[in-house]
Structure 1
């Protein structure tokens, strides 16, 4: 009896990881398709659609389906902290989506793999937290790999590269700031509750940015929908998938360890690269792939070094 329950829980975990991978890679590929292949050149509006879906679906999952207990915001200070996190989160998602207009997914993922480097830098600058010297040494191949990949990238675009670096840095900054801001027991929120509060605040930030920077986007989208109704389904599916990424990430974290999540995350980037090259057929050079492989190898070494220093 015990072995059947352990095998079913193992199957459940495998299913969760598969759902996390497919939703993660699905959002990335669909974003790329919409923003560069389909010609829907509105990354801020696309991010706003994602955040709107995350607001609605988070509320349904927590308030109606009771997937996790609802946690309340305790004070005005905590609200401002969540708002600051939301702003950084917006910056990372918008920059990432903008970069997908100009860069292939494979190169985008190579740059994204440098997150540990930025996390270590921000942790040191903001909390004076020093890692073991060996941990810092493992960051050398992480950065070197991206420099090599950039030199060997046939579709290199400077503005797209800057946006992607900005997105990666903002993602790392969010994780460090989150650790600082919501570290006290009374203020800790699980990731599903944090998304429930962050997503609507993100919509408030993104709405004026969309109206100011993406002129008449709603009118253009409606006109597009009249010509091709598929755009509406693409946007709805893409936005729901963006929430599903956060939901499956939370569930995988809950059912596995943080270390397993790190290892799976590293592998996910490599899977995304292979899938995107197969789908979009973007040219890749041997130098680019060597650079990316070096970065992933560096991230694995970094994870090992962090584990040993604890």
Structure 2
């Protein structure tokens, strides 16, 4: 096989690996969402303690990450000073704690399908917070797109058969905190050249997330759990497999973004949302109304257009880099040739 054939094989392999990363992330994300819903829903497993569940996840992830970094030395820790940790990682851990707490709490009050529809507001929140923190520039076309997504989600909410205002408030709060976390990662870590791999991310972020969650847990859930200690039997199989899924999902997120891009994850997220809506309607028997689908369809088109715009912007940026790289390469070649000519002249003299 010639050089072109070998290149084609490499491209095909890269595409297949990308699809595999996407499939793994969709499967794990799907599994964690449905599993959390099963545990927290009062009509199913009936353990409505979202802070406790999130803390169990964080403790499990922290333990495995600590073992990988400090015990087995599978991964080298990042070179983070105490000041950088306190000023950059701890705020991200706090935002992550709030996001997980509120999003898990929403499963007690809302259906899986409606929660996925509300999550379509994530690009709106990320863009709006990016503007407020001066990370993104205001563009009227992009803001119009954000408005279309918001209108679509509002229509979906209007058509929701089991609408719960408190549940919507919790999920919207989770979206805001998660969007803020994503923007802060760019500002506090990426801009400083700090890149954490999946294990080190959990090693640094999960413990701070656990500590922040312990404050509301002591006030809100601990008194209730103490009352139910005699009646509740901790199922190690249920919670153990749930924690393993959560840990694997955290790894899959970083793997997907690291091996593909954040844009690929956004597109895969849309596919996952449709699958969850279909699963929620067909298996869990949640009510999905035509107005729900019309509203989410409009929001979906807005998100798809937003992802397309981001993709075009990335292509344009890459196209600008290529001529610059080619010019630098040509300049280096000319310098090398001139140096060679100079040395030849010196030897002739």
TM-score w.r.t. length of structure 2:
0.80
> How far 1:41 moved relative to its partner?
0.9
CA distance in 1, matches of 2:72, 2:265: 25
Residue 296 of structure 2 corresponds to residue 289 of structure 1: no
Shift of 1:62: 4.4
- Any conservation in 2 of the 1:99–1:163 contact (CA below 8 Å)? yes
Alignment of 1:252-263 (within 5 A): 252-263=256-267
Q: 1:51 aligns with which of 58, 74, 99?
A: 58
Alignment of 1:162 onto 2:169? yes
* Aligned positions of 1:257-276 closer than 5 A: 257-276=261-280
Instruction: Name the stretch that deviates more: 200-209 or 33-42.
Output: 200-209
Deviation at 1:217, TM superposition (A): 2.1
Please say if residues 24 and 252 of structure 2, whose CA atoms lie closer than 8 Å, have aligned partners that are also in contact. Answer: yes
The number of equivalent residue pairs is 306
* CA RMSD, Structure 1 to Structure 2 (Å): 2.3
> For 1:33-58, what per-residue CA distance to the aligned partner results, in whole angstroms no more than 9, with x for missing partners?
11112110101000101111221222
1:140 shift after superposition: 1.9
Equivalence for 1:193: 200
Change (3 A) 1:159 1:247: same
Q: Which runs of 5+ in 2 are unaligned?
A: 315-349
Moved more, 80-89 or 159-168: 80-89
Query: How far is the alpha carbon of 1:233 from its aligned partner?
Result: 1.5
- 1:269–1:61 distance in 2 versus 1, CA, 3 Å: farther
Name which of structure 1's ranges 191-200 and 92-101 shifts more when overlaid on structure 2: 191-200
Relative to structure 1, the CA distance from residue 65 to residue 285 in structure 2 (aligned partners, 3 Å threshold; closer, same or farther) is: farther
What is residue 33 of structure 2 aligned with on the other side? 28
SS at match of 1:114: helix
Task: After TM superposition, list the pairs within 5 Å mapping 1:98-137 onto structure 2.
Answer: 98-127=105-134, 129-137=136-144
C-alpha separation between the residues in 1 aligned to 2:190 and 2:14?
Answer: 31
2:19 matched to which residue of 1?
A: 14
The equivalent position to 2:48 in structure 1, one of 34, 41, 47, is 41
Structure 2 residue aligned with 1:248: 252
Structure 1 residue aligned with 2:308: 304
Question: After the TM superposition, which of the residue ranges 182-191 and 134-143 deviates more from structure 2?
Answer: 182-191
- Alpha-carbon spacing, 1:65–1:138, altered in 2? closer, same or farther (3 Å): farther
Give distance in 2, aligned partners of 1:184 and 1:116: 21
**3-state SS, counterpart of residue 291 of structure 1:** helix
Q: TM-score, normalised by structure 1?
A: 0.90
Preserved CA contact (<8 Å) 1:73 1:79: no
Partner of 2:329: none
Structure with max Cα Rg: 2
Alpha-carbon distance between aligned partners in 2 of 1:165 and 1:68, rounded to the nearest angstrom: 36
Q: Residue 22 of structure 2 contacts residue 265 of structure 2 at CA under 8 Å; is this kept in 1?
A: no
Q: 1:160 Cα shift?
A: 0.2
Structure 2 counterpart SS, 1:224: coil
CA gap 1:299/1:162 in 2 versus in 1, 3 angstroms: same
What is the 5 A alignment of 1:165-176? 165-176=172-183
Stretch moving more, 44-53 or 76-85: 76-85
2:62/2:207 contact within 8 Å kept: yes
User: What are the superposed Cα offsets for residues 185-242 of structure 1, whole Å, 9 maximum, x if unpaired?
Assistant: 35443454222211011111222322221125267367422xxx6x332111111211
Question: How far is 1:131 from its partner?
Answer: 4.0
Gaps of 5+ in 1: none
Bigger drift between 114-123 and 127-136 goes to: 127-136
Preserved CA contact (<8 Å) 1:211 1:217: no
